[in-house]
Structure 1
């Protein structure tokens, strides 16, 4: 009897272990199927954190790589700047290749019945390994190719800022509509408070920018950038309440004004410490780090918002003007009914 039980026990244990593994696998597949957009955003977050670490803290580690040490000699700048810039370029290039390859492979996929949909919602272990490979490969590419990509990225970043503004405007318009539609005066007072706070903060920061980045009258470029930002924000704020603008509101304009003033601050804070017009040269490291942190958070939030709100809506960036009120973009709530967990 004892021998029989000793033979059966391992079999039962093996069956239980197999069933547990299958259950975990089913749960993992189910989570990946439902949360594909969240998973892609997670890869984007990992890329941002990796770029930040490699740029600011990985110099000793990278100096131990012989290829990196040899290539650094081709630059007439300090090794710290070289490692930081090149690390960010190469991580960004790897992500560009990874997501471009996925975009090409999934081009034309509109329904879950398409066999290629499995590549989008599944195979995450393979995609994660491919992502790591795409991140590593650019570190073995020549500097010249990275310089070309850097110029491409400069233009692409400008386009991304425009997209980011559109996403922020849609968020602010949705926020404004949600609070304005509530049948209570307290929500209208809350909207007024947010609007006043955004404009007050923006005007205060504009004044500080004139003080910090215009130490003397020869700083014409800084004066132009700050003044252009001020006039631009004033212009679209006036337009937002013009009778000719359907569904115009001052609150979304206040949010966009605050963001534009922040962008101006971020650009000016990136000026070299040796630049005569940088009034915060003694605090460049702290200022740059704060601008970087805010920029990373803003970028991450905009990407997550756009992915969750428009990840399965092809008309997200379609402007609509057929209603007197409402959001700027035709973006109804994402329908996740097709993202059900498939049986294992």
Structure 2
């Protein structure tokens, strides 16, 4: 009886899957606008795709697939692209699977990007497609993902490797846009409160937060020089740490320059301090994925050395981990990548709550702020 009631309960959701986004989440957020809920659903789809990529990238996934009787045997090898040559179903895991999953998501979102061009109001007929028909959208995503695994490899894998590099650069730029916008909104909010009343309190708070970000940035630079460089090596690491540090100093000085203040009175050191700290994070993220383990100690080894100072430096040859044999399936998902995943999720959530810029003047102001943040992509 309970199963029958459950079936009818699920059946009641079928119209919602073919209808608007607000119908799907009306029980969770009844007061939300349809467009807001739509953005949240699209963000959740992207986040869910990222989680699937992390699962498929895990080293143990191939082992688990091999335990399924017949899954990696002759029956599958004759059907799925590249598995004739791959003895261990590696096309279904690791970076090859990640490329195909992200290819499917890219095709889906790019198709809707083209569909929604010049759509400005919810009264446009295309807006109904954007805000509804979720059953068909999810079915389309799943279908594209399944079909992507039948794409022959070779040139596809190589092409998506370069597309991924270019896309990563644009992704960092988008994160910078969101971060600069967040920093500017934060600074503007506190400055307005400082002007409305109790200026000493808000000025002290603004100064404290700015100082904290700069102190964290200085600590990051010291740690990078300590653990990611050596007196007789790691030349590239030394160069990028020094280069990014110099650019951050220049940007910090420019943010309080009279000419900048004339065009952007609310520009200040808070924005520069946040961008400086983010730049140090990007520098660390790049160096933590360096193949040379002597110049790229693991995060765990650094923490162990900091808690036990009697040990040799984490980047010393004595403690440098023995390089493992290169994996035929690509690099591994390390602990440092999860920090990047957290940054990605926070950026995604923040982007969902933002509204379009109200006028071209705001766009020019944002462009000036982005220009001051460009050192962060030099990693």
Residue 45 (str. 1) matches residue 63 (str. 2):
no
Residue 120 (str. 1) matches residue 130 (str. 2):
yes
Q: Hey, what does 1:277 align to over in structure 2? A: 295
TM-score by length of 2: 0.70
Residue 162 (str. 1) matches residue 173 (str. 2):
yes
Change beyond 3 A, Cα 1:279–1:117: closer
Q: Root-mean-square deviation (CA), in Å?
A: 3.6
Residue 267 (str. 1) matches residue 283 (str. 2):
no
Q: Partner of 1:116: helix, strand, or coil?
A: helix
Q: Which runs of 5+ in 2 are unaligned?
A: 27-32, 299-319, 325-331, 371-379
Q: Higher relative contact order by CA 8 Å / sep ≥ 6: 1 or 2?
A: 1
For residues 47-96 of structure 1, give each alpha carbon's deviation from its aligned partner in whole angstroms, at most 9, with x where no partner exists: 11111111114222444444499836868xx9879932112211111110
Q: Which runs of 5+ in 1 are unaligned?
A: 1-13, 330-344
Q: How many residues align?
A: 305
Q: Hey, what does 2:106 align to over in structure 1? A: 96
* C-alpha separation in 2, matches of 1:317 and 1:147: 42
Match runs of 1:64-143 below 5 Å: 64-65=71-72, 66-67=76-77, 71=82, 83-143=93-153
Q: Hey, what does 1:319 align to over in structure 2? A: 363
* C-alpha separation in 1, matches of 2:236 and 2:91: 25
Residue 306 (str. 1) matches residue 362 (str. 2):
no
Q: Partner of 2:141: helix, strand, or coil?
A: helix
Q: CA deviation at 1:33?
A: 3.1
Higher helix fraction: Structure 1 or Structure 2?
A: 1
Q: CA deviation at 1:278?
A: 2.6
> Which segment drifts farther, 45-54 or 80-89?
80-89
Q: CA deviation at 1:101?
A: 1.1
* C-alpha separation in 2, matches of 1:191 and 1:151: 42
* C-alpha separation in 1, matches of 2:217 and 2:140: 43
* C-alpha separation in 2, matches of 1:254 and 1:93: 36
Match runs of 1:1-344 below 5 Å: 21=12, 25=16, 28=23, 31=26, 33-34=34-35, 35-56=37-58, 57-63=60-66, 64-65=71-72, 66-67=76-77, 71=82, 83-143=93-153, 144-182=155-193, 183-184=197-198, 185-246=200-261, 247=265, 248-272=267-291, 274-280=292-298, 281-282=320-321, 289-310=334-355, 319-321=363-365, 328=369
Contact 1:269/1:284 (8 A) holds in 2: no
* C-alpha separation in 2, matches of 1:294 and 1:169: 20
* C-alpha separation in 2, matches of 1:308 and 1:210: 38
* C-alpha separation in 1, matches of 2:43 and 2:108: 13
Q: CA deviation at 1:119?
A: 0.7
